[in-house]
Copies of this chain bind each other. A is one copy, B any other.
Amino acid sequence: MELLKQKILSEGEIYEGNILKVDYFLNHRIDVPFLSEIGKEFHRLFKDSEVNKILTIEASGIAIGTMVAQEFGCPLVFAKKNKTKNIAGDVYVTPVESFTHGTTYSVMVSKRFLGAGDRVLIVDDFLAIGNAMNGLIKLVEDSGAKLAGCGAVIEKSFQHGGDRLREKGIRVESLAMIESMNHETGEIVFRS
């Protein structure tokens, strides 16, 4: 998605340790008119996959998931991190290691909101090593729902999480794939 690449180049910030921050349009300040285009693009890619539910993970995935769900006219379910008073009853739960924060947390979805009969499109902001995406896929599998595919706004393809999923036969679509980036020069190379 050319417009996304341009935004990453003009508004993204690279930090040591292969960290790309897109706080200006995706992770803190959200450029909602732009996000609407992201929603349309995922719909274009998956419109023939009979998707009836979008699944994402709090917090940064929620805005993206909302726009994608709007295009599909279907509900969004967001997986929660840690157990809070606000989730009651039976949940599907799996541990996820956070590359960004260096911790492990639990990801969970209420059994009421995911199950056989659902055809699920998972969306998230980033796909790097793939830990969060793998956790969400595990929740879909545990629930008996069908996985239609995975969509990431930005894939750090040099961390190979996306390719490992593709090797398993899972359809993964990323709107921008970063092959390399350099925090000293600011250079970003996209996979074409």
Identify the A interface with B (CB < 8 A).
15, 19, 21, 23-24, 27-33, 35-36, 58-59, 62-63, 65-67, 69-70, 73-78, 80, 84-88, 100-101, 109-110, 112-113
Contact = CB atoms under 8 A, between A and B. Distances in A.
Nearest to A69: B32
A29 B63 contact: no
Nearest to A29: B113
Contact of A32 (B35, B36, B76, B85): B76
Nearest to A19: B85
A7 to B, nearest CB: 13
- Give me the 6 closest cross-chain CB pairs, A-B, nearest first: A32-B69, A58-B59, A62-B62, A29-B113, A30-B76, A59-B59
> How many copies of this chain does the complex contain?
2
Contact of A78 (B33, B59, B86, B88): B59
Nearest to A114: B29
21 contacts: A23-B110, A24-B112, A24-B113, A27-B86, A28-B80, A28-B87, A28-B110, A29-B112, A29-B113, A30-B76, A31-B75, A32-B69, A32-B73, A58-B58, A58-B62, A62-B66, A63-B63, A63-B65, A63-B78, A66-B67, A85-B100
A26 to B, nearest CB: 11
A167 B27 CA distance: 34
Nearest to A53: B29
Contacts of A23: 86-88, 110, 112-113
Given A88-B21, A100-B84, A100-B86, A30 B63 contact: no
Contacts of A29: 75-77, 110, 112-113
